[in-house]
Amino acid sequence: MLLVISGPSGVGKTTISHEVEHRLGARFSVSATTRPRAESEVEGRDYLFLDESEFRRRVEAGEFLEHAQVFGRHWYGTPREAVASQLAAGHLVILEIDVQGALQVRASMPGAFMIFIDPPSEVELLRRLRGRARESEAVIQRRFEEAKREIELARTSGAYDHHVVNDALEPTIDAVCALVTEARRGARDR
C-alpha cells in the first residue's frame, strides 16, 4: 500500500512518518531535491541531491511520481521506480510530501491512502515553528503563511482520506498507525 503523509512545516509529520515506518515495518521513500545538502544529511538516506538540470531531465523523462517547487526555491520529487519496486514487493511505502505532490499522487494512484497532519491551532503551529529555533523570524513567517495556505488546500481538495490533529505526539502516532493498519486490512479483504 502507498501511504502519503502531509502536513505543514512544524506539525511533526517527519517524526510521525518515521515512527509509522518503524512500528509497521514500512519503507520510507527517499525524495530527490535540488536544495543543498546539510552537513548532517547523507546522500541516498535523507535525500537524493540533484542539480537543477538533472532534476529537470528526470521530470521530462517522467521519472517522478510527483514533483513540486517548495517555497518558490528548491524542487522536490519522488522517484517513480523506487516506489513501484517496493510496492511490487508487497511493502507499505511512505511518502512524506506536500499537498501539491499529494494531489499529483491522488490523480495518478487513486488507491493511495492519504493522511494530513493538522496542527491543533494556528497559534500552536506558530509556536512550534519558533520553538525549532532554526530560522529567522522572516523565514518563520513565510513558512507560517505557506502552512495556512497548505492546510486550506488540504481541507478543500478532498484528496485526503483522513485528517489527524497532532495535539500530542504519542496519541497522534497511535492514531495514524491504527488508521493505516485498518486501511491495509481493508485492502487485503477486497
For residue 179, pLDDT beyond 90: yes
Mean pLDDT of 106-133: 93
For the chain, which residues make up each domain, given as ranges?
2-189
Measured in degrees and rounded to the nearest 5, phi and psi for residue 117 equal -95, 120
Q: What is the pLDDT of residues 134-171, one digit of tens each?
A: 788 998 998 899 899 999 999 999 999 999 999 999 99
Measured in degrees and rounded to the nearest 5, phi and psi for residue 34 equal -100, 0
pLDDT at 9: 85
Q: What is the pLDDT of residues 41-95, one digit of tens each?
A: 989 888 999 999 999 999 999 999 999 887 678 999 999 999 999 999 999 999 9
pLDDT at 109: 94
Spatial separation of the C-alpha atoms in residues 153 and 148, rounded to whole Å: 9
Q: Are 91 and 1 in contact (CB under 8 A)?
A: no
For residue 25, pLDDT beyond 70: yes
pLDDT at 39: 87
pLDDT at 177: 98
| Other beta carbons less than 10 A from residue 126's beta carbon | 18
Q: Look up the pTM and report it.
A: 0.90
Identify the residue with better confidence: 71 or 30.
30
Which amino acid type is present at position 45?
A: R
pLDDT at 188: 67
Give CATH superfamily name and number for 2-189.
P-loop containing nucleotide triphosphate hydrolases (3.40.50.300)
